[in-house]
């Protein structure tokens, strides 16, 4: 009983702390999947490290220095003609794909991470941003997979619709050719002597094999369906073995 009470108390404390974290932080802060207690269920909560890192970032508290003369980029892929000298003090504003976004006096832009002194806060920011990019990429991949699934389902429905239309047109053709009664017997798989090969295809489907014999009398064919054999002389069924 004591163990159960301790477990329940632990659960209530965990939930209370997580609720407080979510309540006190801004919606743009980093979310991470984290297990709560030992009770086997997960929910998205904001981690302490990322909350503190974003707080420092928003407050302009993450500062650093240029470690060698460096070119300032206006964007990560657009180089400017501004050179920041070694030991220039900078404020770190963000991280993006190998570049730290910084403010140095009146200059604002991007510096490669190899040209700036990287602190623990900056390393953590890099880790957080890369993990966020991973989550974002996974989300995009999941959304694309869902769109691909929807496209495939639509294509399959179109194929089914086309196939139904083809079958309906074929049935109309055969009904017109043989009449509704004969066509119904053929669809039900009936076989009779004197039927044509076209009729046999409707009743039996495509054979496994066809053996043909050609002579002065015409063309004889043996249609093979497993262990069953059907014999046609000049296009008409004359005998069969089943």
Residue 205, domain CATH: 3.30.1450.10
Sign, CA dihedral 110-111-113-118, equals negative
- Degrees, nearest 5: CA angle 205-222-189: 30
| 31 close to 44: Cβ distance less than 8 angstroms | yes
Is the pLDDT higher at 96 or at 89? 89
- Residue carrying the six token digits 């050179």: 83
* pLDDT score at 201: 94
| Together in a domain, 198 and 138 | no
pLDDT tens string 41-83: 333 444 566 778 888 888 888 999 999 898 888 887 788 888 8
Terminal CA-CA length for the chain = 76
- Number of folded domains that form the chain: 3
- Residue 189, SS3 per DSSP: coil
**pLDDT tier at 148 (50, 70, 90 boundaries)?**
very high
Range of the domain at 121: 48-145
**So what's the pLDDT on residue 97?**
83
Same domain, 17 and 41: yes
pLDDT bracket for residue 29 (50, 70, 90):
very low
**Does residue 138 share a domain with residue 186?**
no
Burial track 81-115 (b if 16+ CB lie within 10 A, e otherwise): eeebeeebebbbbebeeebbbbebeeeebbbeeeb
Q: What is the DSSP letter of 66?
A: B
Of 21 and 77, more confident: 77
Q: Are residues 35 and 94 in the same domain?
A: no
Q: Helix 120-178 and helix 48-59: axis angle, to 10°?
A: 110
Both 70 and 140 in one domain: the answer is yes
pTM: 0.44
Provide mean pLDDT across the span 97-122.
Answer: 89
Report angle CA 44, 15, 33 to the nearest 5 degrees. Answer: 20
Candidate from 77-91, 123-137, 171-185, 218-232 with smallest mean pLDDT: 123-137
Q: Are residues 39 and 63 in the same domain?
A: no
């Amino acid at each position: 009983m004591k163990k159960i009470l301790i477990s329940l108390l632990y659960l209530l404390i965990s939930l209370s702390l997580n609720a407080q974290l979510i309540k006190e932080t801004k919606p743009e802060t980093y979310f991470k999947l984290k297990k709560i207690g030992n009770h086997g269920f997960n929910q998205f909560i904001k981690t302490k490290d990322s909350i503190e890192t974003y707080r420092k970032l928003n407050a302009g508290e993450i500062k650093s220095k240029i470690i060698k003369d460096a070119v300032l980029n206006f964007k990560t892929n657009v180089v400017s003609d501004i050179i920041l000298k070694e030991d220039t003090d900078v404020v770190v504003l963000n991280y993006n794909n190998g570049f730290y976004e910084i403010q140095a006096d009146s200059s604002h832009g991007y510096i490669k991470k190899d040209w700036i002194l990287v602190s623990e806060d900056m390393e953590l920011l890099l880790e957080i941003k890369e993990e966020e990019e991973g989550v974002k990429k996974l989300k995009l991949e999941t959304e694309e997979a869902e769109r691909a699934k929807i496209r495939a389902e639509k294509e399959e429905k179109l194929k089914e619709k086309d196939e139904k239309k083809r079958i309906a047109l074929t049935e109309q053709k055969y009904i017109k050719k043989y009449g509704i009664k004969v066509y119904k017997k053929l669809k039900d798989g009936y076989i009779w002597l004197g039927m044509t090969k076209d009729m046999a295809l409707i009743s039996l489907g495509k054979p496994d094999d066809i053996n043909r014999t050609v002579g002065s009398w015409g063309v004889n064919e043996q249609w093979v369906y497993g262990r069953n054999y059907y014999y046609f002389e000049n296009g008409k069924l004359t005998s069969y073995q089943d």
